[in-house]
Amino acid sequence: MILYIQLSVIQKMSNISKFTISIPEQGLSDLKQRLNLAKFPNELENTGWDMGTPLHDVKRLAKYWQNEFDWKKSEKDLNTLPQFQTVIQCEGFEPLRIHFIHSRSKAKDAIPLLFCHGWPGSFLEGRKLLQPLTEETDGQPSFHVVIPSLPNYGFSDGTSKRGFSNVQYAETLHKLMLKLGYNEYVTQGGEIPVNLTLKTIC
């Protein structure tokens, strides 16, 4: 769903820095050790997905993460994305570092687009859309794409206070777009994320 939003305040970019994913080796070793020591529960006979994730699938995934998955390779791949971070503060809450993707189009009349990921979900939901949305095409609109990690998700900070609801999520996204210098933008959000984008109108 795309909503067109006109804003009355223009705020220049400030306090925005590049972001690089870098998980310490110690953290990866700790994860593998915990997977190795994991104790799995029993399950009822003749059950499938109607009782949740089957135990054999959980064990298979745990084994894969412990012995086969190459995080450093994935990390290197993710770091090819144009990632940034900045500090956003909502009224009544502490400042939070917000991680986001920001890919600008070369098209002269490109439209700023706020892409809001699912809940739960991550910024990776919009990864494959970056190229087709930002490239210049005759007769088709192009976009400057912003894909934030919502507060409490991914590489964004989480709040330690109660009451951080859709209003605050929307305020965070709105302030991010203002900080990037976008006084007019469109938004995208499905099912639950659309509630956040609707709040930016109010």
What residues form DSSP beta bridges with 4? 186
pLDDT lower than 70: segments of the chain? 1-14, 190-202
The pLDDT tens digits for 146-155 are 999 999 999 9
Give the per-residue pLDDT at 35. 95
Give the per-residue pLDDT at 50. 86
The pLDDT tens digits for 44-93 are 888 889 888 999 999 999 999 999 999 999 999 999 999 999 999 999 99
Q: Phi first, then psi: what are they for 173, rounded to 5°?
A: -65, -40
- Contact status, residue 111 vs residue 141, Cβ threshold 8 Å: yes
Give the per-residue pLDDT at 197. 57
Give the per-residue pLDDT at 138. 82
Give the per-residue pLDDT at 6. 39
Give the per-residue pLDDT at 82. 97
Give the per-residue pLDDT at 137. 84
The residue behind tokens 């894909």 is 147
**DSSP assignment of 114-146:** EEPP-SS--GGGGGGGHHHHHS-BTTB--EEEE
Give the per-residue pLDDT at 110. 95
Cβ atoms within 10 Å, residue 42: 6
Q: Which one-letter amino acid corresponds to residue 94? A: E
Q: pTM of the entire structure?
A: 0.82
Give the per-residue pLDDT at 3. 43
Domain boundaries of the chain, sorted by first residue? 2-20+82-199, 22-33+56-78
CATH number of 2-20+82-199: 3.40.50.720, 3.40.50.1820, 1.20.1250.20, 3.10.520.10? Answer: 3.40.50.1820
Of 171, 124, 114, whose CA–CA distance to 21 is shortest?
124
